[in-house]
Homo-oligomer: A and B are copies of this chain.
Amino acid sequence: MLPGFLARAVELLLGREGRSLHLKAAGTATAVLAVVMLLGSWAVVAAEDGARGANLKTYPQALWWSIETATTVGYGDFYPVTPVGRLIGAAVMVVGITTYGMVTAALATWFVGREQRRRHHLAHGARELGEETTRALHERFDRLERMVAGKDERD
């Protein structure tokens, strides 16, 4: 049920084909992070169950742990102590910082694009200048042809 619901959410989020790469990448990474945190919290409780010194015992605790792990805060009030639990923790960390890197890079791309659109107007101006020049040169040809043709008629 959950994966089906999530697949639909991802589809909704990423459905529009024309969207830019950086928006798609940041959206996908955020969706993947949400799945990894929700499933990882459940899995880490199962992995730690019964281990000596285990402190991740309930799903709400594990959700809080996944938030402070994905954001790299890591207070140390909760942490995995089993090999499998630590593998899950490593996955949450890596997906968390990758998502954060993608969002930062997407923000930079958005900002840079906005700044360049302003400069693009200048490039557009240069293009219009070129069209004006072309029109002026054609007018000179028209006038020269009339001059040559005028002489012709008078001959």
- A136 touches which of B76, B134, B148 (Cβ 8 Å): B134
A22: B residues at CB distance < 8 A: 111, 114-115
Contact at A145–B147, with CB atoms within 8 Å?
A: yes
- A109 touches which of B111, B136, B143 (Cβ 8 Å): B111
A90: B residues at CB distance < 8 A: 64, 67
- A64 touches which of B60, B86, B127 (Cβ 8 Å): B86
Contact at B100–A106, with CB atoms within 8 Å?
A: no
Task: State the number of copies, please.
Answer: 4
A116: B residues at CB distance < 8 A: 116, 119
Closest to A76 in B: B76
Interface flag for A108 (CB, 8 Å): yes
A77: B residues at CB distance < 8 A: 76, 79, 81
Given contacts A22-B111, A75-B75, A152-B151, contact A68 B83 (CB under 8 A): no
A122: B residues at CB distance < 8 A: 120, 123
